[in-house]
Amino acid sequence: MNTTGKRNPVVSTLAGSWLTLLFTAWVLLMLWASADLGRTAAWIPRLVLTATLVCLLIQLATEVRAARVLTAPAPGVARNRERIVAAVAWLGLLLLLTWLLGIAPASALFSLAWLRLHAGENWRTSLVSSTGLGLVLWLVFQVMLGADLYTGVLWSSI
């Protein structure tokens, strides 16, 4: 407490860094999951995940060093929280679909949901775009490069 009887407005930085910590934990989990990939299929995900992890650790270090001061929430703070929750929910949907269905089908379904529900595109545009994305991913990686894409837990059990 300070001299006015109110709580000290300076708080721990980690309390406000939950999203950075969540993404850091997720990237570490994805790096651990990439251990099952073959040598050829693993180098791109590991490279991207390692670069992402480095950026997240830099962000976390910056947040730890910076002292945050709590004040009355600005009018846009509630809207920013809604946007963060929505972004985490969309990311969670993509990761869940990828885990269940595999990379190509999940990308197609996610882009369909994103275009139709978030962007408000019509069904025709959403279906054509998402189907095209799924086919391009499959054709480029599976057919042309011969890389085994992750098939998901549902397809691998069949």
pLDDT the model gives residue 1: 46
Q: What band does 135 get if pLDDT is binned at 50, 70 and 90?
A: very high
Mean pLDDT, range 119-127, rounded to an integer: 91
pLDDT the model gives residue 132: 93
Other CB atoms within 10 Å distance of the CB of residue 49: 19
Percent of the chain with pLDDT over 70: 81
Give me the phi and psi of 74, to 5 degrees please.
-70, 160
The residue that leads in pLDDT, 80 or 111, is: 111
The residue that leads in pLDDT, 18 or 15, is: 18
Residue 154, token pair as written in the block: 């549902």
Residue 122 identity (one-letter amino acid):
N
Give yes or no for residue 7 having a pLDDT over 50: no
Please write the tens of the pLDDT for every residue from 69-90.
Answer: 444 455 666 667 787 788 888 8
Percent of the chain with pLDDT over 90: 15
Give yes or no for residue 103 having a pLDDT over 50: yes
Task: Indicate the range of 42-51, 66-75, 89-98 predicted with least confidence.
Answer: 66-75
Indicate the burial class of 2 (C-beta count within 10 angstroms; 0-12, 13-18, 19 or more): exposed
Helical (H) or strand (E) element with 138:
none
Name the residue ranges covered by the structural domains of the chain: 1-71
How many angstroms separate the CA atoms of 145 and 104, rounded?
A: 14
pLDDT the model gives residue 141: 85
Residue 32 identity (one-letter amino acid):
W
Q: In angstroms, what is the C-alpha Rg of the chain?
A: 21
Give yes or no for residue 20 having a pLDDT over 60: yes
DSSP states of 99-150:
HHH-HHHHHHHHHHHIIIIIS---HHHHHHHHHHHHHHHIIIIIIIS-----
Give yes or no for residue 129 having a pLDDT over 90: yes
Q: What is the pTM of this model?
A: 0.55
